[in-house]
Chains A and B, each alone.
Chain A
Amino acid sequence: MKIRGESYFLVIIMLFVLFILGWSFFVIEFLESKLLPLLIGSIVLILAAIQLGSEISRGNKLKASTSGDESGSDEVVYKEDARKYLDHGAWVAGLVLAVYVLGFIAAIFLFVLLYMNRLGARWREAIIFAVIFPAIIYGLFELALGIELYRGLVLDWLS
């Protein structure tokens, strides 16, 4: 039996919905409050189970009908895609972590500088954007709109 990435995603959805159903059934007090989560959760769970069944059977049919080389190249493309998504996703997660530690302005400077370079920009171009963009953000959000941008752990600790 061949389990594809999509099937894992469906399993995660089903686990999430099972959690919602369990929480609704055992923790939420009134019927009025738990009725809709139970109703919609059950429907989604059934639909997801049908979809999972069809995914697994389609995966098996594909495995049976394609040669080893073709299915192998499919898997390589999928893994390559997943690796790239994880790579760029990690950059975004890194930005969030940097915002938490250093605050928005410093994090944006670092992120734009390094990520633009990672995407193929020359250092000079990256530095120009890394300087200009946080300045625009600061002017627009802090000064014009009066939104206090997150200062980060380091600035909080220093002040």
Chain B
Amino acid sequence: MGIETFVHALQYFQDPAFLLAIISGAIVGLIFGIIPGVSSILALSLFLPFAFVLKPDIALAFMVAVTAVTYFGGSVTAILLNVPGTEASAATLLDGYAMAQKGEGGRALGASFVSSALGGIVTVFMALAMIPLILPMIYAITTGDMVFLVLLGISFIALIGRGAMLKGLISGGLGILFSLVGFQWSTGVARFTFDIPVLYEGIPMAPFVLGLFALPEMIVLATKGGSIVQEGVTVKGLQGVVEGGKDVFRHWWLWLRCSVFGYIIGIIPGIGTMASTFLCYAHAKQTSKHPENFGQGTVEGVIAPESANNATCSGAVLTTLALGIPGSAPMVLFLGGVTMVGLTPGPSMLTEHLDLSISLLLTVLAANILAFIICFPIAQHLAKIGLVPARILAPLIIVLALIGAFAAREQFIDILMTLVFGALGLAMRRWNYNRVALLLGYVLGVLFERNLFVALSLSGPLFFLRPLSLSLIFITIAVLVYEPVKNALARRRGIRMP
């Protein structure tokens, strides 16, 4: 990676459309983060149908910006309304809301914004520094290795559904089966198309994603009814917000440690942002001189999870770009976006589109700065966005989901497919099946099949006898058997597992 590549990456920022994509992505991400019950996954689902009409760099910059700043918004409602806007803000709520109740809401918000923004910014530089180190490894990956890399990715994501690995694997397998609809690339045979021409190119992504994520969330929201949240604590003036910002610098060592932890967890696929925030919260409590203050409204309890959540995003973006394995749930949709704009997820993003990949990492940085600039001065008003009632939100998003499904190909059958996948998504949500694993299987299924047959034709049935392939197989098996073995051992010792 030379300085030229970096300059090329910076040139993307000269395009006003690219900048507009980052600005609009940051605003959309903030709004969707603030409103509890909706998330960056929903925002990305609604955007995905329109990704293909945009230039790849613009579409992907928008998606990265949305993902990068959602946690900013999520913390606002966690601190002021006692409802986390995103699940990653749940740890912030423990001390953030307690601070707000003591009249220190502004200070909590300031600490949250500064630690989040700085965590996001610093870890982008860490990700950039890692690229030259991982590039030689990326170049060594063959098509045969890619087969097992895809399997590893699905196995990791299957773990996200805590305590339901079997359900995660079933979901991932179903996703691969859905991806097999349409022409098979090497033989030209149409599979499971039932002579319906619109299925020859496979199940379209927009109805699949919108049905799985947008419709079920809105139906559940409508079922709950009323307002999503009630009026919470208000913040007056900016003095407290500035004081909270200063707190981050007073606790700079805690901020740095938690940012690095968050970044490392982001790099490892399948762990997720929520785990990183709670891990850092627990770490802060363990290492604090006053652990008894945690949960009572201490600023360290806000700084620790907030440093981690945005830092996780930088790591997740890098893993998703470099290996095609999504580091978090929103990154699965980002991966879908990469496919939709005509790029191939995985190592080629670093080997053939390194400048674009660097520009996307810089987008995380820019989006964090933007979110900070937007949030800091109007902190006290932001929570009002979270008060939007379900009776307005649900009908509007249901309509947008159906239009989004239709807009990509202008076929009515896509609306029907959205309805069918909506029913599937609702059932999966109801019984804790892993919709993200299903989507990942669907996105990576074609890649898996293509690489499998290329590897078979190039190297024969023993294509996996390479050090990297064997290592990946070993890691996949370890990932899959770890939890059952741990549970079995615990049962033998008489420990009841949750």
Which chain A residues in 10-34 approach chain B with CB under 8 Å?
13, 17, 20, 23-24, 28-30, 32-33
**Are A36 and B176 in touch, CB under 8 angstroms?**
yes
B107 in the interface, Cβ–Cβ < 8 Å?
A: no
Interface of A is mostly: helix
Chain A residues contacting B180 (CB-CB under 8 Å) are 36-37, 40
A88 in the interface, Cβ–Cβ < 8 Å?
A: yes
Chain A residues contacting B238 (CB-CB under 8 Å) are none
B187 in the interface, Cβ–Cβ < 8 Å?
A: yes
**Are A119 and B391 in touch, CB under 8 angstroms?**
yes
User: In the complex, A50 Cα to B164 Cα: how many Å?
Assistant: 13
**Are B166 and A50 in touch, CB under 8 angstroms?**
yes
Interface size class of B (residues with CB under 8 A): 35 or more
**Are A9 and B402 in touch, CB under 8 angstroms?**
no
**Are B423 and A89 in touch, CB under 8 angstroms?**
yes
Which chain B residues in 161-179 approach chain A with CB under 8 Å?
166-167, 169-170, 173-174, 176-177
B189 in the interface, Cβ–Cβ < 8 Å?
A: yes
User: In the complex, A30 Cα to B453 Cα: how many Å?
Assistant: 13
Chain B residues contacting A13 (CB-CB under 8 Å) are 170, 174
A95 in the interface, Cβ–Cβ < 8 Å?
A: yes
User: In the complex, A42 Cα to B259 Cα: how many Å?
Assistant: 43
B233 in the interface, Cβ–Cβ < 8 Å?
A: no
User: In the complex, A35 Cα to B399 Cα: how many Å?
Assistant: 40
**Are B189 and A44 in touch, CB under 8 angstroms?**
no
Chain B residues contacting A30 (CB-CB under 8 Å) are 184, 187, 189
Query: Residue among B173, B180, B402 with the most chain A CB within 10 A?
Result: B173
Q: How far is the CB of A141 from chain B (nearest CB, A)?
A: 6
B430 in the interface, Cβ–Cβ < 8 Å?
A: yes
Chain A residues contacting B452 (CB-CB under 8 Å) are 36
**Are B169 and A92 in touch, CB under 8 angstroms?**
no
**Are B177 and A20 in touch, CB under 8 angstroms?**
yes
CB-CB under 8 A for A44 and B170, given A36-B176, A92-B419: yes
User: In the complex, A120 Cα to B390 Cα: how many Å?
Assistant: 9
Give the size of the chain A interface in residues (CB under 8 angstroms).
Answer: 54
Chain B residues contacting A148 (CB-CB under 8 Å) are 410
**Are B170 and A28 in touch, CB under 8 angstroms?**
no
Q: How far is the CB of B162 from chain A (nearest CB, A)?
A: 16
**Are A9 and B427 in touch, CB under 8 angstroms?**
yes
CB-CB under 8 A for A88 and B223, given A40-B173, A111-B399: yes
B126 in the interface, Cβ–Cβ < 8 Å?
A: no
**Are A120 and B187 in touch, CB under 8 angstroms?**
no
Chain A residues contacting B430 (CB-CB under 8 Å) are 5, 81, 85
Query: Residue among B53, B177, B449 with the most chain A CB within 10 A?
Result: B177
Interface string of B209-223 (1 = CB under 8 A from A): 000000100011011
**Are B399 and A108 in touch, CB under 8 angstroms?**
yes
Q: How far is the CB of B405 from chain A (nearest CB, A)?
A: 10
CB-CB under 8 A for A141 and B403, given A33-B184, A129-B392: yes
**Are A99 and B402 in touch, CB under 8 angstroms?**
yes
Chain A residues contacting B423 (CB-CB under 8 Å) are 89
User: In the complex, A53 Cα to B396 Cα: how many Å?
Assistant: 41
User: In the complex, A141 Cα to B184 Cα: how many Å?
Assistant: 34
**Other-chain contact of B395, A104, A115, A147 (Cβ < 8 Å):** A115
User: In the complex, A54 Cα to B452 Cα: how many Å?
Assistant: 33
Chain B residues contacting A106 (CB-CB under 8 Å) are none
User: In the complex, A121 Cα to B189 Cα: how many Å?
Assistant: 52
B422 in the interface, Cβ–Cβ < 8 Å?
A: yes
**Are A9 and B431 in touch, CB under 8 angstroms?**
yes
Q: Which residue of A lies closest to B412 (CB)?
A: A150
Chain B residues contacting A111 (CB-CB under 8 Å) are 395, 398-399
**Are A47 and B402 in touch, CB under 8 angstroms?**
no
Q: How far is the CB of B317 from chain A (nearest CB, A)?
A: 28
User: In the complex, A148 Cα to B184 Cα: how many Å?
Assistant: 31
Q: List 27 A-B contacts (CB under 8 A).
A: A5-B431, A13-B174, A17-B177, A24-B191, A28-B189, A32-B186, A40-B173, A40-B180, A41-B177, A43-B173, A44-B174, A47-B173, A81-B430, A85-B220, A85-B223, A88-B223, A89-B423, A92-B422, A96-B415, A111-B395, A112-B399, A119-B390, A119-B391, A129-B392, A149-B403, A150-B406, A150-B412
Spell out B's residues near A (CB within 8 Å).
50, 53, 166-167, 169-170, 173-174, 176-177, 180, 184, 186-187, 189, 191-192, 215, 219-220, 222-223, 225-226, 390-392, 394-396, 398-399, 402-403, 406-407, 410, 412, 415-416, 419, 422-423, 426-427, 430-431, 448-449, 452-453
Question: 8 other contacts beyond A29-B187, A92-B422, with CB at 8 A cut-off?
Answer: A5-B430, A17-B174, A30-B184, A96-B415, A137-B399, A145-B50, A148-B410, A149-B406
Spell out A's residues near B (CB within 8 Å).
5-6, 9, 13, 17, 20, 23-24, 28-30, 32-33, 36-37, 40-41, 43-44, 47-48, 50-51, 54, 81, 84-85, 88-89, 91-93, 95-96, 99-100, 104, 108, 111-112, 115-116, 119-121, 129, 133, 137, 141, 145, 147-150
